[in-house]
A and B are shown apart, each in its own frame.
Chain A
Amino acid sequence: MIDVGASRLSEVEKASSHGSAALCFSNVSASYGPYRALFSVSFSVPAGSVVALLGANGAGKSTVARVATGLVPVTGGHVFFHGTDITGWSAWRIARLGLVHAPEGRSVFATLTVEENLELDFVKSAGRHRADQAVERAYGFFPRLKERRRQLAGTLSGGEQRMLSLARVLSVPPKMLIVDELTFGLSPGIAAEVFSSLRALKDQGCTLLVVEQHVHQALAIAERAVVLAHGSIAYEGPISEMGDLAERLLGGKTAS
C-alpha cells in the first residue's frame, strides 16, 4: 500500500483552501453500522477534471460516492465541495449545491412516468416554468424518451433508464457529477453512447468522478485516477504515471 503521508495531506488542504478542488476528501472514514468501509481516505478531484475511481469489488468505490453526496454518514475526517465543508450535510442540501450523484443500479423512479421523473429533477432547482423548458431540452438529447413520456419509468429498458438519468444532467449540467457503474449491464453500443454523453458534459466544464468496471473506457475519458483497495487509497495521480497498475486491476488483482 502506498503511504499516505503528511505531504499529501498538506497538499489536500492547500487544494481545498485555494478552491481549485471541486471535491476533496480529507482523512474520511465511513462505516455501515459496525462494518467499516473506508479507512482515512484522502484524495481530491480538481475542478473541471475527470477522475476515474477504480478498485476491486468491495474496495469501497460506491461508499466514496455515497459519502460524497451524504447518503452514508462520515464517521471521521472532512469532505469539502468547492471549499465548503459539507461534512455531515444531508443529501438534499448537497444536491442543491450542484453535486449530483447518479447511483448504482436503477436510478429512476419506477412508479413515476418519464415526464414526472424529469419534472421532479428540475422543479426544485429551476421552478415550474423553467422546469418545463428543461424537460423539453432533455427530450432533445434523447428523442426516444419523448415517445415514452407517459410511460412508467420502471417499464423502460435498462438502457432507456440510463438515458433518463443522463438526460437530466445533460439538460441542466451540475457543477459536479458522480456516476456509479453507469454502464453496468448495458450493451457495448449503448455503453459507448453513455460515454460520449459524459464527454459532452466534460466539454461543458462539468467535473466528473467516474466509478467504472469498464476500466479501459474510464481511463480513456479520465485524466486522473484514484485506486481504492480494502477501503484505503492505493494510488492517486495522473493516469500516465499509473504504470502497470491498470493492467493489474484488469487482471482482477487488487493493488496492495
Chain B
Amino acid sequence: MSQLLTYVLLGLPYGCIYALIALGLVLTYKSSRVFNLAFGAQAYVSAVVFYVAVRSGHWPIWAAGLVSIVVVGPLLGLLLDRLLFRHIRVAATVVKLGAAIGLLLGIPEITQVIVGTQPQDNPPSLFLPPSWVFKLAGTRVNGTEVSTVLAAAIVVVGLWVLFRFSTLGLEMRAVSESPRMVELVGVNSGEVSSVAWMLSSLLAGLAGVLLAPLFATLDSYNFTLLLIAAIAAAALGGLASFPWTVLGAVAIGVAQEVMTGYLPLNSVLASGLRPALPFVVLILALLFHPGLRSSQDEGDPLASCDPPPLRAVPVKAHREHLIDLSLPSLFTPLVVALAIGSCLTWVPQIWVGVITVGLTYATILLSLTVLTGMGGQISLCQATFAGIGAFAAGQLATHLGLGFIEGLAIGAVLAGVLGLLLALPALRLGGLALALGTLAFALLADNLLFPLSWVGNGQSGVYVPRPQIGPISFAGTRSFFLLVLAVLVICGVAIALLRKGTTGRFLAAMGGSEVAAGAIGINVHWAKMTAFVVSAVIAGIGGAMYGSYQGAVGADNFNTLISLLYLVLVVTFGVKTVAGAVNAGLAYAVLDHLLASAPSRFGGLAALLFGMGAVAFALHPQGLADLFTARWKDQLDRLRHPWHGRETVEVS
C-alpha cells in the first residue's frame, strides 16, 4: 500500500505539468479554434530563456523566472495570435495544423540559432531546489516536485475562479462560441482572445520552467512528447472541460509512475509502454469520447459574414487545348528532360545523390497528395508507413536473402495492411481528431514497433541493399537515380489516373464533405479505406527507395517528427498536385544538403524554413507554389489571349 502511495506521489508532479499544458491547450482551442501543437515549443522557449538567464547571465532566480514566464511567455503568445492564429480561425483544419506544426518545428530551431546548440545540462529550478528533500508518508519528496504541484494547484484554482466568476472569463467563453456575436454586445473580441492567448502562453512558460529540472538536459523533443501527454488529457476532457482535463492529466501522470513500479524491470513493456501510455489514452479517448468524434463545435451563427474561401486556381477564362504545342507549354517538359539528361551525364555524383534523395522524398510525399490532397484526410504518420516499407525490404534481404524488389513489394503490401488497420478506427474520426489519432499512432510505432530488433532495430538500424533486376544492377548512383525516377513517375501517373477516374471523384467528393458525399450514394467508408491503403502503399514504396539509397536506416529516419515534417513540406508546396509533392521533396533535399556544411546552430534551418513556409501558407492558403504557378499561367494566358479580360464575379 505504501509502495503504491510512493508511486502516486512520484507521478503527481508529472500529472500537474501535463495539466498545466493541457489547460493552456484547451484555453487557446476554445478561444481561437486552433489546436496549438506548438505549445510544447513555447514551453521550451521559456525554459531556455530561464536557463540562459540563470546559468549564463547569473540573474537571480526570481528575475529570471519573471522574465521567462511572465514576459517572454505571454509576449510569444501575443505575437502568435496577432500575426498568425487570429487570421486563420476559419481556415481549413489542414491549414491550421500545418501552421501549428510549422511552429512546432520552427520555434526550437529559431531558439537554437539564437542561443546556440551547446547542451543545456542540469537546468535550475524555479522555487525549491531538488536538493531540498523531506519525507512524506515514508516517501522522499524533493523541492522541485513540491513546488510543481503547488504551482499547478494555484493555477487550477485561479483559472476556475476566473472562468466561473469574472466578466473576462464570461467573455472568453462567449468568444469561444462566436467572436462576432460578442462584438455585437459591445465587447472587443480581438482583445479578449489576445488575453486568452497570453494567459495560455503564460501557462506554457510556467510548465516549461517547472518541468526543466525534471530532465537532465533541455531538449525540445522532450517538450513535444509532453505535449502529447497533455493532448491526451485534453482529449479526456473533450477539448472543452477544464476539470476533466485536470483530472485526466493527473491520472495519466500517476498511471505512468504506477506502471513503472509494477511492471517487470528491463522488459519491453516497461521501457516501451510507459512512454507510450499517453498515446494509447489519446487513441482511446478519440475513439470513444462522443464529444470529440462528432464536432462539438456549436458553429458560429455569423460564420456567413466571412468571404468564401479562395480558389486554389483562378477560374479558367477559356478552354484549354487538348494538345498544346506552343512554346510556353513545352517549356517545363524541356527543362525536365534537360535536367534528367544532365543528371545522367555530367552532374557530379554527390548532387545526383541529393536529387535522388529528393525524388524518394517526393514519392513518400505523393502519399499525402492522395490522402490529404484528394481525400481531405489529414495523416501525421506517413513516416511510419515509409518506415515499414524500408524495414521490410531491409529485413527480408538480410534474413531471407530476398532481392530488393521482392522486399519492396512485400513492404508496400505490409504498409498497405497497416494502412487498412489504421483506416478502420479512422472511419470514426475526421478532421482534427483524425490528425491527433494518427499522431498518437506514429508515436506508438516509434516507441513500441520500431525499437524491435525484427522491425527497425532501434538506433542501430537495418541494412537495405541496392536493387538488382535480373542482370541489371542499380548499385551505381546514376543508374539508381534512373530507377528512383521511374518509380516516382509510375506512382505519379497512377495518382493522376486515380484522380481522373471514378475513385478520384469519390475521394474528391469525400474531401469536400463526407456527409454530402454519403448523401449522393458514395460509400464514404470504402473511399476512406481506399485512400488510406493507396497512400500507405505509396509511402511504403517511397520509404523502401529512400532506405535503399541510404544503405542503412534506423528508427530515427522515420520517427514522428519526420511525419510532421512531411506534412509541412507538402502543405507548403501544394497538397493537391503531383508537382507540389515533387517540388517539395526536391527543395527539401537540396536545402538540407546545402545546410549540412553550415555551422551546427544553423543545422535545423531547413526545418525552420519549411516551418515558416507552412505558416506563410496558412496566411495564403492557395499554397505558395500553386499560387505562383497560377499567377505565371495567368500572365501567359494574357500574353496569348489578350482579348480575354479577367472575369470578375458579380453576384447580387
Inter-subunit contact B307/A35 (CB<8 Å)? yes
Inter-subunit contact A124/B185 (CB<8 Å)? yes
Chain B residue contacts of A100, Cβ below 8 A? 184
The residue from B181, B187, B190, B648 contacting A124, defined by CB atoms under 8 A apart: B187
**CB of B170 closer than 8 Å to a CB of A:** yes
Inter-subunit contact A33/B310 (CB<8 Å)? yes
Inter-subunit contact B308/A111 (CB<8 Å)? no
**Known A91-B180, A111-B298; contact A231-B186, beta-carbon cutoff 8 A:** no
Inter-subunit contact B167/A123 (CB<8 Å)? yes
Inter-subunit contact A35/B649 (CB<8 Å)? yes
Interface window among B154-162, B171-179, B210-218, B229-237: B171-179
Inter-subunit contact A111/B173 (CB<8 Å)? yes
- B300 closest partner in A (C-beta): A106
Chain B residue contacts of A112, Cβ below 8 A? 170, 173-174, 177
Inter-subunit contact B167/A128 (CB<8 Å)? yes
**CB of A28 closer than 8 Å to a CB of B:** no
Count B interface residues, CB 8 Å.
32
Chain A residue contacts of B400, Cβ below 8 A? none
Inter-subunit contact A107/B652 (CB<8 Å)? no
The residue from A32, A35, A71 contacting B180, defined by CB atoms under 8 A apart: A71
Task: Digitize A205-233: 1 where CB-to-B-CB distance is under 8 Å, 0 elsewhere.
Answer: 00000000000000000000000001100
Shortest distance between the CB of A162 and any CB in chain B (Å) = 13
- B651 closest partner in A (C-beta): A35
Chain B residue contacts of A230, Cβ below 8 A? 652
Inter-subunit contact A92/B305 (CB<8 Å)? no
- B176 closest partner in A (C-beta): A111
Count A interface residues, CB 8 Å.
43
Inter-subunit contact A116/B170 (CB<8 Å)? yes
**CB of A243 closer than 8 Å to a CB of B:** no
Inter-subunit contact B188/A90 (CB<8 Å)? yes
**Known A36-B651, A60-B652; contact A110-B298, beta-carbon cutoff 8 A:** yes
Shortest distance between the CB of A130 and any CB in chain B (Å) = 13
**Known A103-B181, A109-B178, A154-B298; contact A125-B186, beta-carbon cutoff 8 A:** yes
Task: Digitize B631-652: 1 where CB-to-A-CB distance is under 8 Å, 0 elsewhere.
Answer: 0000000000000000011111
User: CA–CA, A28 to B181, complex, Å?
Assistant: 23
The residue from A32, A36, A66, A119 contacting B170, defined by CB atoms under 8 A apart: A119
Shortest distance between the CB of B33 and any CB in chain A (Å) = 13
User: CA–CA, A96 to B186, complex, Å?
Assistant: 5
Chain A residue contacts of B652, Cβ below 8 A? 36-37, 39, 58-60, 230-231
Q: Which of A19-76 contact B (CB under 8 A)?
A: 31-37, 39, 58-60, 66, 69-72
Chain A residue contacts of B177, Cβ below 8 A? 109-112
Chain B residue contacts of A58, Cβ below 8 A? 652
**CB of B121 closer than 8 Å to a CB of A:** no
**CB of A105 closer than 8 Å to a CB of B:** yes
**CB of A82 closer than 8 Å to a CB of B:** no
The residue from A35, A72, A90, A231 contacting B183, defined by CB atoms under 8 A apart: A90
Chain B residue contacts of A125, Cβ below 8 A? 186
User: CA–CA, A105 to B173, complex, Å?
Assistant: 20
**CB of A120 closer than 8 Å to a CB of B:** yes
Chain B residue contacts of A109, Cβ below 8 A? 173-174, 177-178, 181
Chain B residue contacts of A35, Cβ below 8 A? 307-308, 649-651
Shortest distance between the CB of B496 and any CB in chain A (Å) = 30
User: CA–CA, A126 to B186, complex, Å?
Assistant: 11
- A117 closest partner in B (C-beta): B174
Inter-subunit contact B301/A106 (CB<8 Å)? yes
- B178 closest partner in A (C-beta): A109
Q: Which of A76-125 contact B (CB under 8 A)?
A: 90-92, 95-96, 100-101, 103-107, 109-112, 116, 119-121, 123-125
**Known A95-B183, A107-B181, A111-B176; contact A71-B170, beta-carbon cutoff 8 A:** no
Give 14 A-B pairs besides A104-B301, A107-B301, A111-B176 with Cβ atoms closer than 8 angstroms. Answer: A32-B305, A33-B308, A58-B652, A69-B184, A71-B305, A72-B305, A91-B180, A95-B184, A103-B302, A107-B181, A111-B173, A116-B170, A120-B185, A123-B170
> Residues on B close to A: CB < 8 A?
167, 170-171, 173-174, 176-178, 180-190, 298, 301-302, 305-308, 310, 648-652
26 contacts between A and B (CB under 8 A): A32-B305, A32-B306, A32-B308, A33-B307, A34-B649, A35-B308, A59-B652, A66-B305, A69-B184, A71-B180, A71-B305, A90-B183, A91-B184, A92-B187, A92-B188, A92-B189, A95-B184, A111-B298, A112-B170, A112-B173, A112-B177, A116-B173, A120-B171, A120-B185, A123-B170, A154-B298
